[in-house]
Structure 1
Amino acid sequence: MRLVCIGAGPLTLNIVRMLVDKGHDIVIIEQDRARIEDLTEDLDVGFLHGDGAKPMIQREAKPAESDALLCLTDDDEDNILAALVGRQLGFPRVIPKIQDADFLGICEELGLENTIIPDQTMARHVVDLVVAGADADLSAFIGGGVRFYSFEVTEDEAGPCTDLDLPEKTRPVLIQRGEDFELAEEASEVQAGDRVLLVTHVDHLSELRDRWPARHVREGEQQDGRQGRDKSKRNGAD
């Protein structure tokens, strides 16, 4: 795929690095020439210097030869305008980023169906993570080595969070108890059955997975499963 990105901020760079690793062709449009010079040696992508919301600059990016335009500057209005210009010039898909959710309704009215709101996306990831108990890669929003992981507290682990004996660069950030959530603090205590969300470094994921398998099955559920299988076997024998 050939993708054009407007803006060279942290989100763009994380997205671009992932796409380049997958073999995609990327062009970045950036107004800051010094920023382009700093990134040229680090990224194997094409660069265009200029205002990405202007038709002349977008035409240089060759819309007809591209698969999508990602508008990822820090200015919501610029991203919306750039997306509208890109759609008019023939980009098959335009994806504007906005920070202010109040603009979402306007984007929908303008037909910008692929608008993204990073804060909301990250919040959904965190909630899904806590509920599902799987680890998630949020580095596109936070930073390259940051990862999240959650686990269910056992009877033996109940007590102060400080007693969990976590790896370095690993901290509890959220505790789910039933339908309630609370932010983890230094004085927080966990109970058996709580689900704890950790922020950690990618280097420690294997250690956390070994200690707390992602799909944790409660002992009672295991017993119920065994009883069900035993019952099925008995019925089959009968």
Structure 2
Amino acid sequence: MRFVIIGAGRVGLRTARVLRDEGHDVTLIERDEPRVRRARNEGFTVVDGDGSREKTLEEADITNADALGALTADLNANFTACMIAKHYGCRTILRIDEAYREEIYRKYADEVDELIYPERLGAIGAKNALLGGTIRAIADVEQQLQIVELTITDDAPVNGYTIPELELPADSTVLAFGKRDGELELPGEDESLEVGDRLVVLADFAVLSEIRQLLVGESEARAAVNAGTGSSSGSGGVN
């Protein structure tokens, strides 16, 4: 596939490397001269110019691109580029860095194919490292939903339950199930939950604490703190 990426900074260049390593054709657009030189030194085709201008996008051969990633730190430039690319029939990916108000978020979400938050993705990785192996955040969906992978422990109240017996809060649903070291797949009705099994759950942030208590066996206080719905008191936190 052929991709045009606007911005050869940290996010744009890393994305370009991954796409190239997978065999895709990537053209970068960048107007900062040191970044242009760095990308060209790595062997990338780089158009020196403003990616929010149609002439520059045409120079990058947007007509034959499958998708455009507007990955600069300038939201206005990113959005303008996406609107031009959409006119050319490209899939559009818009980078947003700040926590915009819900109505602003939805405005942009309605106009492009995909929104990405590099800082949020980095935060998810850090959160996973801090939490350890029983709970892994996979993605934030919208602003109030999260997809998490949880590993059943000895302390989980649902240890030994079958999938149909599992009663999660109303604002959550099981997306996938995997036995210990097995592949994730759609959950079957005769599957029983054992230590080491994994469940992928889509849940509202408001019920993450309850889900952690059920599937991992955390205490109510610890689950509330880890899910971001409570706070620890004193210098020692919650034990």
TM-score, scaled to structure 2: 0.53
Kept in 2, the 8 Å contact 1:7–1:28? The answer is yes
2:92 matched to which residue of 1? 94
Residue correspondence of structure 1 range 30-45 to structure 2 within 5 A: 30-41=30-41, 43-45=42-44
Question: Are 1:62 and 2:61 matched, yes or no?
Answer: yes
**Unaligned ranges ≥5, structure 1:** 138-150, 155-175, 192-238
Counterpart position of 1:179 = 224
1:108 alignment partner AA: A
CA positional deviation for 1:113: 3.2
Matches within 5 A, 1:150-169: none
Pair 1:180–1:131, CA change in 2 (3 A):
farther
Instruction: For 2:47 and 2:89, locate their aligned partners in 1 and report how far apart those are by CA, in whole Å.
Output: 17
Deviations 1:3-53 (A, max 9, x none): 110011101121111111111111000012332123322x23211010000
CA distance in 2 between counterparts of 1:105 and 1:135 reads: 27
> What's the counterpart of residue 118 of structure 2?
118
1:177 to partner: Cα distance: 2.7
**Cα separation, 2, equivalents of 1:128 and 1:10:** 22
The answer as to whether partners of 1:107 and 1:113 remain within 8 angstroms in 2 is no
Residues 94 and 114 in structure 1, CA contact (< 8 A), matched pair in contact too: yes
- Tell me how far 1:63 sits from its aligned partner: 2.1
RMSD: 3.8
Number of the residue aligned with 2:3: 3
Which range moves more in the overlay, 120-129 or 69-78?
Answer: 120-129
Q: Which residue of 1 aligns with 2:203?
A: none
CA contact (8 A) 1:67 1:93 kept: yes
1:179 is aligned with what amino acid?
A: A
Alignment correspondent of 1:170: none
* Aligned equivalent of 2:106: 105
Show the 5 A alignment for 1:192-231: none
Listed as ranges, the gaps of 5+ residues in structure 2 are 139-150, 155-220
* Bigger CA radius of gyration: 1
Query: Is structure 2 residue 45 aligned with structure 1 residue 46?
Result: yes
Residues 71-86 of structure 1 mapped to structure 2, 5 A cutoff: 71-86=70-85
2:91–2:113 contact (8 Å) kept in structure 1? no
Relative to its length, the structure with more helix (as a share) is 1
Alpha-carbon distance in structure 2 between the residues aligned to 1:75 and 1:16: 18
Instruction: Tell me how far apart the structure 1 counterparts of residues 33 and 51 of structure 2 sit (CA, whole Å).
Output: 13
**Which whole-Å deviations, capped at 9, do the CAs of 1:44-102 have from their partners, x for residues lacking one?**
321101000000010112223211100011111111111111111x1420101011323
Distance 1:87 1:15 in 2: 20
For residues 122 and 106 of structure 1, do their structure 2 counterparts lie closer, same or farther at Cα, with a shift above 3 Å needed?
same
Query: Structure 2: which amino acid aligns with 1:28?
Result: L
